[in-house]
Amino acid sequence: MNTCKNILLVGVGGQGTILTSKILSTGLLNAGYDVKMSEIHGMAQRGGSVSTQVRFGERVNSPIIGRGEANILIAFEKMEAMRWLEFLSKSGKLIVNDHEIESAPILAGKESYPEGVLEALSEKSSALVIPATKMAIELDSIRVMNIIMLGVLVKQAGLETIDWKKEMKNLIKPKFVDINLKAFELGYQYKV
Amino acid sequence: MNKLLTGNEAVARGAYEAGVTIGSAYPGTPSTEIFENLAQYDEIYSEWAPNEKVAAEVVVGASMAGARALSAMKHVGMNVASDPIYTHAYLGVNGGCVYVTADDPGLHSSQNEQDNRYVALHAKIPMLEPSNSQECKDMIGKAYEISEKYDVPIIFRMTTRVCHSKSVVALGERTEVGIKKYERNIPKFVATPAACRRHHVELEEKLQRLEEFSNETDLNFTLINKDAKIGVITSGISFEYAKEVFGEQASYLKLGFTYPIPKQKIKDFAATYETLYVVEENDPYLETQIKALGISILGKEKIPITGELNPEIIASSLLSERPDYVQQDKDLVKGRPPTLCSGCPHRGLFFELSKRKDAVITGDIGCYTLGSADPLNAMDSVICMGAGVSAAHGFAKVFEQTNDNRKVFGVVGDSTFFHSGITSLIDIVYNQSNCTIIILDNRVTGMTGHQENPGTGYTLKGKKAPIIEIEPLVLSIGIEDVRQVNPNNLKEVREALNAASIFEGPSVIITKWPCALKKLHEEEKKEYPVAQWVYKVDTDKCRKCRMCLKVGCPSISFDPQTGSFIDPNTCVGCSVCAQVCPFDAIERAGDA
C-alpha cells in the first residue's frame, strides 16, 4: 500500500511497552522521519494486553495498520506474540522475548498456559527468540527487559545511525539511565 | 519547533496558543489527558469539576464573562452535559467557547459507542473534526474564531484514535486575546421562553450563514488526484485511513467542518466522480445528509456501522481486498481479562458481597465494575455514572411491591458519588427505600488514571483544596445508618453488611482505603500506613482448597501439586487472602 515501515510492539500491562514506543518514535522523529504512533491503554494497568504501533517513513497517513502489515512485530511476552501474529507481514520479522506471563484465569488454575508457543511461532514466521527477561534479571533489574528488546530491534530494523542513548537520557528518569543504557547495549550486541 | 504529540496534548496546546484562559472538565477516557496537559499552562485556570454538566455550566459562565473557555468530555459525558450545552446554542457567547467530545468507536473503554456528531446536528452547534494532532492544535484556534465571529459555542469532535495517536505537530506561540468586557445583557443571556423563541430564529439564521462558511472554509478541502476515478468524502480519522487505502486512485473531499455540512461543495465534488464513497466510522452521519441532497453514494451498505474502522476493513469492504498475513494458532492464545490489581481495596468488599448469593448488587462506572468479573461475579447491573445508587432504589421499590426480601446493595466509587451519586442518594432518603449504598472511597479517581476529585484534598493544578468528607455529607442529607470500614478488613466489612441488611430504611457503608497504585500525599501516608511486608503460603499448611483463589488476586497462582503461591514481587500485603484461608496457611513473609 505504501512505503512506510510499521513496527508493532506488544506486551502485558507493566512491561514498559509504551515507554519503549516513546523512545522509538521520538528517535525516529529526530532522525527526520514522519512518525505516527498509536497506543491503546486504559485497562492496561489492570493486567491486560497492551499494543502500540509505530509507523514511520516520508509521509504517514493512518496511525494504525491492518493484519499482515507489520514489518516487525516485537513481543515482550510469547503468548502476546501469538495473539498479534496476524498483523505480521509474511516477509516480516518477529522478535519475541522468551518469557511467559500468566493471565488471571491461568493463575487461578482454570486454564493452562499454552504449550509450544515458541515452536509454533518459529514454524510460522522468521522468529528471533531473545531471552530478554533472563538477561534483565542477570543485570539485576527485570524492568529493563524492554530496553534490551529495543537494542535488538534497533539492530534488526537497521536504525543504528540514530542516537538512541540521547533519546533514552531524555525520556528515562535520571537514576535509571545507566542501567537502561547498559541494557540497550546488551540487546544491541546480542548475537542472534 | 516540531514535537510528537497525541491529539489530546495537541488540543491542550491549541487552547494555550489560542489564548484560552479558563477550562473545566471531568475525566473520561479517551479525553482525560486534554486537561492533564492543560493544567501545565500557568496562563490558563483549569479545574476538575464534579461532573460534565457542572463543567459545561462553568464554561458557559466563563464565556459570558468574556473569556475563551474550554471543556472536554468523553462521549457519554456529553449526555450529562447536554442540558446546558443545548441551550448554550441559543444564547451564544461573549468569549469563544469550545466543547470537546471524545468518542470511543470500538468501546475501548466505554459502555456504548454513541456517535456524538449527531449532538451537533441535534443541538444545532457548529462542529469541527480533526484527523491528526496537527489539525487538533490548529483547529482549536479556528474553533475560537468561528465561535466569536458567529456568536455560537463549538463542538470539537474527536475519537479514540485521534486522541491517543501521536503525530508530528509544529508548535506556535500563544496569542493573548484578552478577556472581553462583560455587561449585563438580559435579552441575550437569560433563557426565558420569550428570549429563546427569538434566539431560535436567530440561531437558524446563524446556521444558514455557517453553511455558507462551511462551503467557503478551507477546513473543508479537496485533495485531487489527476487520474482518479473514485471520489471519497470523509472526515476525522477516516480520512487518514481512506488515504492509506486508496492513495492516488481516489480524490478526496475532506471535511473538517462537519456541521453544518458544505452542501454546495459536496454537490460540486460529487458531480465530478462516477464512483463515490463516503468513509466514516460508526453511524451514517454524513451519508444520510449527502443522500438527502439527491446524491448517489456508497457507505454503510458496505462499511460496518459497528466497531472501530481501520484501513484493512475499508479495503475489504470497498475494494474486496483481502490481506495476506501469517495465520495465528488460536489454540495457543488465551484471553487476558483485566482484573482488580494486587492489593486493590475493592477486593475485600466484593469478596464479601460475592458470598451473598441472594443479594442484588447494582454497580457503577469505575475500576469496581470489575467486581462483576470472575471469580467475584458480584454484580447485577452497570448502566452509567450514578446509576449504582439510583438503580438500587428502583430494585428496592419493586421488591417492596413483590414482597421480595432480597437485600439490595448499590456500589459507587468516591468520584462517581461526587459526580452524580449524591442526587441519587437524596432520592433514596426522600422516597425511603430499603437499600444500602456502599461508597467505595479509594481516595482518587482511579479508572481514568488517578485524577484528584472533591474528596482528595487537591485540585487539578496540584493546589491544596478543602476535603469534602463523605460521611458527614451523607449524614447531613438524612441517612441515619452510616458505617465506615476498612475494606481490607473482612470482618469489619462482613459486620457492616450484616448490620445494614437488618436495618430498616436506607443505609450507607463507606469503604475507605486508598487505591493500591495511588501515589499518596504526605498526610495520607500517616492515615493509611502501607504494609511493609508481603504474604507467603506455608506449603505444609496449604490443603489446596483454592479458597484464596476466590478473591481473584493476580499475585496468587495455583499448582495442583504444590498448592497456592504468592508472587512476592507483586504482593502489596493487603492480607485479604490470609483472612480468607481456612487453614491459616498464609502468613507474613518478613519485610517486602
CA distance B508 to B497: 10
Q: Do A43 and B546 touch (CB under 8 A)?
A: no
Mutation target to probe the A interface, by most A beta carbons within 10 A, among B328, B551, B580 is: B328
Q: What is the pLDDT of residue B523?
A: 87
Give the residue-averaged pLDDT of B145-171. Answer: 98
Q: Do B325 and A83 touch (CB under 8 A)?
A: no
pLDDT band of residue B338 (cuts 50, 70, 90) is confident
CA distance B181 to chain A (A): 42
Q: Touching check for B403 and chain A: CB below 8 Å?
A: no
Q: What is the pLDDT of residue B211?
A: 98
Q: pLDDT tens across B7-52, in order?
A: 999 999 999 999 999 999 999 999 999 999 999 999 999 999 999 9
Q: What is the pLDDT of residue B592?
A: 43
Q: Is residue B291 scored above 60 in pLDDT?
A: yes
Taking the mean position of all CA atoms in its chain, how far away is CA A134? 16
Residues in chain A: 192
User: Would you state the cell numbers that stand for residue B534, as one nine-digit string?
Assistant: 508481603
Q: Is residue A1 scored above 60 in pLDDT?
A: no
CA distance A32 to A47: 35
pLDDT band of residue A192 (cuts 50, 70, 90) is confident
Phi/psi at B167 (nearest 5 deg)? -150, 175
Q: Do A49 and B336 touch (CB under 8 A)?
A: yes
Mean residue pLDDT across chain B:
96
* The amino acid at B453: N
> Exposed e or buried b for every residue in B325-357, given b needs 16+ CB within 10 A?
bbebeeebbbebbbbbbbbbbbbbbbbbbbebe
Q: What is the ipTM of this complex?
A: 0.94
CA distance B29 to B123: 23
Mutation target to probe the A interface, by most A beta carbons within 10 A, among B244, B279, B342, B570 is: B244
Q: pLDDT tens across B238-255, in order?
A: 999 999 999 999 999 999
CA distance A183 to chain B (A): 21
Q: Do B325 and A107 touch (CB under 8 A)?
A: no
Q: Which residues in chain A are contacts of B132 at CB distance < 8 A?
A: 36, 63
Q: pLDDT tens across B475-517, in order?
A: 999 999 999 999 999 999 999 999 999 999 999 999 999 999 9
User: Which sign, positive or negative, has the C-alpha torsion B410, B412, B414, B417?
Assistant: negative
Select from A13, A14, A129, A15 the least CA-distant residue to A73: A129
Q: Do B312 and A66 touch (CB under 8 A)?
A: yes
CA distance B16 to B30: 20
Mutation target to probe the A interface, by most A beta carbons within 10 A, among B29, B33, B166, B318 is: B166
Q: Touching check for B328 and chain A: CB below 8 Å?
A: yes
Phi/psi at B425 (nearest 5 deg)? -65, -35
Q: What is the pLDDT of residue A45?
A: 58
Phi/psi at B417 (nearest 5 deg)? -60, -45
Task: Centre a 10 Å sphere on the Cβ of residue B1 and count the other Cβ atoms it contains.
Answer: 6
User: Which sign, positive or negative, has the C-alpha torsion B239, B244, B247, B249?
Assistant: negative
Residue ranges of E strands in B186-316: 220-223, 230-235, 250-255, 257-259, 275-279
pLDDT band of residue B427 (cuts 50, 70, 90) is very high
